Structure 1
Amino acid sequence: MDWLWEWIQATFREYPSIPIFLTIGLGFWFGKFRYKSLSLGVVTSVLLIGVVVGAVFHVPIGAPLKSLFFLIFLFAIGYRCGPQFVSAIRGQGIKQVIFAVVLCGICLAVTWACAKFMGYNAGIATGLFSGAQTISAVIGIGTDTIQSVLNAGTITPEEAKNWDEMMPVCYAVTYVFGTIGSAWILGNLGPIMLGGLEKVRKQAKELEQQLDHSNLPNDPAFVDGNQPIVFRAYKVTAEHFSIPQTVAQIQAHFQTLGRRIFVERVRDANGKILESTPDMVVKLGDEVVLSGRHEYIIQDESWIGPEIDDAKLMTFAVEKTRVMVSKKAAGLTVDELRAKPWMYGIMIGSIDRSNGIEIPVLAQTKLMEGDMLTIEGLPQEVQAACPEIGYEEKPSDQTDVVFLALCIFVGALVGAMTLTIKDVPISLSTAGGALIAGIFFGWWRTKRPSVGYIPNSVLWFMNNLGLNMFIAVIGIQCGPVFIPGIEKVGIMLFVMGVISTSVPLFIGMWLGAKVFKFHPAINLGCCAGGRTTTAALGAITSALDSSVPALGYTVTYAVGNTVLILMGVAMVLMFL
């Protein structure tokens, strides 16, 4: 079997794409395993599998390959966060923006202090920052910055090589606690620090009730998506209709009962089926189709008449679509939005913000530019509402590749520009440029929504495969030096990681409560978002049994994801 082993080694070295895909496949597979609440996650699994592959096969891989995937990943991150990032900077959520920037600054300062205290070099310090703050992209930004410094002659090739090799080692050592520790601190210790779990849970429920307070009748948009909006048919036989009623009068009567129900269709005594209008008259013997919340509609037999099963009457199109909120609707609460005349008959199913985070659909939830609403209603009603809300995003599987490629090109080109100050080269790097380009063009698309469409499935692919292809290459390249690297940094690196993860979170929660005066649930969400730790958001919402913390997560996530990545540049430069 020696010949087979030798053939595999020779093949992997000649065709490095083969071990890369092996690493990706095994990494995603191992990343799915968990023990109770513990999991390595996909990124760390890919890195460790890559280390094993690299250590066993010693595969040489060129730098351009990993840079290509990293640029794709960073552009996708910026593109998804861009609308909320710019909207927040321009005034919506500015308080949360400032908090996120301050928290990121604390993360940088604490990590820098730990690295200085231990006498670490730029590579170890940047890897520590990347793992402790769970921001994997810092490895790529750090690598690009080291290359820029090397090109400027500030460091030697040997130093650059050593720094590059140590970064992923230190990231792997500190990332696990960075993820699990953050979730445990914010989900368990955070509520205790802010007044006790039961008290904070009660405050979250109270805030949820306040945000759900509406000046309008109850709306099916305000219930959980697992309680469906239904359409049902009735025969008009009740005495109430001995005097014919208009559709407007019927719906007004429902509103006096606290129910938002619509008359969608009417079949008159002649058997003719008509789409309803406000002045259409309904009389005894007619048949009507009502739409609304299930538990409300089933109460209407005594007031209207018996429910009927009529396939022809009930056969009509209902449209469900996604709409991007534009400037004209941004700033409105859900309550204010549904009060608009063009929202007649429209139900809001969900609101997605920033990195695909679903926020609660409550009466006082304020919409932001770039939010994605899922709305449902009759086609003519949906088509009337869509242009007033923003831009309807028709389902499509086609990516605007021209837009995608040229935006990354422009961003990377701008990022490659270098400014030298006192012999220190300063630049965004090509990776940082791609991130900024993603933010700018993601926001710009809210102004020109017909250009630059990238399906969510493609963004997921760019985000996940882009990052993990990069991480796979990093792992394979550092495989031969991984074990010696761990021996070099020792157990104290793990301790420094614990400090770098924990201290900023405790300071952040204190600042959120005492300085920024956030509601406790929003405070915890802001800390999770500013640290870009989705696992912690899950732990918080589970502990509080409320989705309210997500309202503090989205804006701070958009800001933190950008600022922390760019701080990878600062971390390298601070150790020159």
Structure 2
Amino acid sequence: MSDWFVTTLRDHPAIALFLTVALGYPLGTFKYRGISLGTVATTLLVGILVGQLHIQISHNVAIVFFLLFLFAIGYRVGPQFVRGIADDGVMQALFAVVVCAVTLATAYGVARLAGYSVGYGAGLFAGAATASSALGLSTTAIQGLGLSADETHAMIGALSTAFAMTYIFGTIGPILIISQIGPWLLHIDLVAACRAYEKRMGGTNHGSGTSWHHYVMRTYRLLDDWPQVGQKVGEIEASDAHSRCFFDQIRRDGQVIEATEATVLKAGDVVSVAGVRSSLRALFVIGAEEVEDLELLAVPVAGVDVVVTKRAFDRKTLTELAHMAATHGIFLTRIRRGAMGEEIPILPQTTIHRGDVLTVVGQPQRIRASISAIGRADFSDEQTDVSVMFLMIALGALIGVPAVMLDGVPLTLSIAGGVLFAGIAAGWQRSVFPTFGNVPPAVIWFMNVVGLNLFIAVIGITAGPSFVAGVREVGISLFLWGMLVTTIPVIFALLVGKYVFRFDDALVLGCCAGAGTSTATLGLLADRAGSQVPALGYTIPYAVSNTLLTIGGIVIVTLL
């Protein structure tokens, strides 16, 4: 039976490929105290085990999945990458560039010091930096060195061995160092720092909430001694702009009418008003009584995700946006930003950027009136623009084909690097000009997760036979060198972020997590702080580092 099974896998390698992901992926989802090995590491390890059966899979299979994965990365980080390079995120982008350079230099120095070959050195870099995408570009670069088939196969085997041995601490190390050691090393009380930041940004002592999203709807009967009797609705709403109280409907003489800015309020009116509970109490503390008018309260309220694309909203604070006619009568409940859709705090001084996704609620007619001024609604993006997506992948690959020879070493962006930049261009274009090129988040997730894991499975299965020999050759020393390559850039990032770039104490740890592309670290920081403020420092460094570390897969091979 066992012989039949092995023979079947050798004759039908596609079965072995899917079996590897089926076994490896769930192992990577197990967590202990918020820490896991990750699906990439476990899929690779299972692939190496399956590879002991000497199963042959064409590398062309791997490259197809890898190109889909790279395009997904570029598409996700495109808006934040471009904005970070060209806009007000320059310092955070520069910080990520410096950290990536130190990571690459550390890996190169350690590889030279330890006497590692190109394969081991490139795998050391990719694993210690948890740059799975760099593994693919290093593989492509090695295949372009013009070596014999046996030499290439041995080098890629060494690459996979080093990656597998260093990836585990590469995942766990930054989580422990940034979230546990970082606050002590930098003398930061993360909870106090986030609260202080929220206060400076206009928040309250009760968390990061503002009148933008803590709202209620109430109905009041206006009495003769209500101070605002005889005033227009627009005047009352404008008198306290920060409270964002809006009159919706009025029952007058038994009839229900819409409350426009020009409507004059009279004694005896029953009004429905939406706003902050404390502001409503203050507005109606004298000369009004709360009543229960079910018809006025039975207002359909829609919730819509809106992508910010208009320049009028770009780089405006929520306080500034509260004064705009486009936001009249709508309430903001969530802001998501960046490649991973990180939720950022809603504070009066929070700055909105193009590409942010705002979740707003309010009457459907008011939301419809606001969408055109803000950008585009995000509820109809179910279909993938397959033609544009595959055309961009093809064009990016073509751009990456040309190579320049320097002292016998081919310098090239490679088709993988070209596809990465094509994804960045497509993602940025979609966020600014959302007329074509749509790739829904679910499709991006599938391309990212499935594309990467299938690629890693092929690498593991192919390198399986040489893995055991590689471990015997380098021993435990490779794991220890990997710890060093992981630790030095993280400690460097903490110190430089705090004392050179002088990031705010509430943001510096988030910046370090982003520069290290460690999403798990950001989650732990947010939990420890009880705040989403650290995410404000995460998105731009993550987008820049994700791109640069990927390209580093080519650079490390060239340097070695």
Q: 1:542 to 1:446 in 2, by over 3 A?
A: closer
| Equivalent residue, structure 2, for 1:292 | 275
| Equivalent residue, structure 2, for 1:344 | 328
Q: Distance in 2 between matches of 1:353 and 1:419?
A: 38
- CA shift at 1:463, angstroms? 1.1
Is 1:96 aligned to residue 97 of structure 2? no
| Equivalent residue, structure 2, for 1:67 | 63
Deviates more, 1:451-460 or 1:102-111: 451-460
Is 1:119 aligned to residue 115 of structure 2? yes
Q: Among residues 215, 220, 230, which one is paired with 2:216 in the alignment?
A: 230
| Equivalent residue, structure 2, for 1:22 | 19
- CA shift at 1:250, angstroms? 4.2
| Equivalent residue, structure 2, for 1:53 | 50
| 8 Å CA contact retained: 1:59, 1:476 | yes
Q: Distance in 2 between matches of 1:461 and 1:223?
A: 37
| 8 Å CA contact retained: 1:84, 1:369 | no
| 8 Å CA contact retained: 1:359, 1:547 | yes
| 8 Å CA contact retained: 1:54, 1:478 | yes
Q: Among residues 112, 131, 150, which one is paired with 1:135 in the alignment?
A: 131
Q: Distance in 2 between matches of 1:547 and 1:464?
A: 25
Is 1:207 aligned to residue 197 of structure 2? yes
Is 1:475 aligned to residue 477 of structure 2? no
Q: Among residues 72, 77, 81, which one is paired with 1:81 in the alignment?
A: 77
Aligned-pair RMSD on alpha carbons? 2.5
| Equivalent residue, structure 2, for 1:240 | 226
Q: Distance in 1 between matches of 2:435 and 2:207?
A: 32
Q: Among residues 346, 355, 359, which one is paired with 1:370 in the alignment?
A: 355
| Equivalent residue, structure 1, for 2:176 | 184
Q: Where in structure 2 are there 5+ consecutive unaligned residues?
A: none
| Equivalent residue, structure 1, for 2:290 | 306
Q: Among residues 413, 434, 438, which one is paired with 1:428 in the alignment?
A: 413
Tell me which amino acid in the other structure corresponds to 2:167.
Y
- Secondary structure, in 3 states, of the residue corresponding to 2:273? strand
Q: Distance in 2 between matches of 1:115 and 1:485?
A: 15
Q: Distance in 2 between matches of 1:316 and 1:361?
A: 24
Tell me which amino acid in the other structure corresponds to 1:65.
V
Q: Where in structure 1 are there 5+ consecutive unaligned residues?
A: none
Is 1:330 aligned to residue 314 of structure 2? yes
Q: Distance in 2 between matches of 1:112 and 1:243?
A: 75
Is 1:280 aligned to residue 263 of structure 2? yes
Matched residues, number: 557
Q: 1:282 to 1:25 in 2, by over 3 A?
A: farther
Is 1:163 aligned to residue 155 of structure 2? yes
| 8 Å CA contact retained: 2:66, 2:452 | yes
- CA shift at 1:19, angstroms? 2.3
- CA shift at 1:434, angstroms? 0.8
- CA shift at 1:252, angstroms? 4.8
- CA shift at 1:220, angstroms? 10
Q: Distance in 2 between matches of 1:35 and 1:519?
A: 31
Q: Distance in 2 between matches of 1:301 and 1:26?
A: 63
Is 1:265 aligned to residue 249 of structure 2? yes
| 8 Å CA contact retained: 1:235, 1:285 | yes
Q: Distance in 1 between matches of 2:127 and 2:376?
A: 39
Q: Distance in 2 between matches of 1:409 and 1:422?
A: 30
Q: 1:375 to 1:312 in 2, by over 3 A?
A: closer
Q: Distance in 2 between matches of 1:52 and 1:307?
A: 71
| 8 Å CA contact retained: 1:145, 1:572 | yes
Q: Among residues 474, 494, 504, which one is paired with 1:489 in the alignment?
A: 474
Q: 1:222 to 1:22 in 2, by over 3 A?
A: farther
| 8 Å CA contact retained: 1:168, 1:478 | yes
TM-score of the superposed pair, with normalisation by structure 1: 0.90
Residues 239-260 of structure 1: CA deviation (Å, up to 9, x unaligned) = 428944432344356x29x732
- Secondary structure, in 3 states, of the residue corresponding to 2:289? coil
Is 1:44 aligned to residue 41 of structure 2? yes
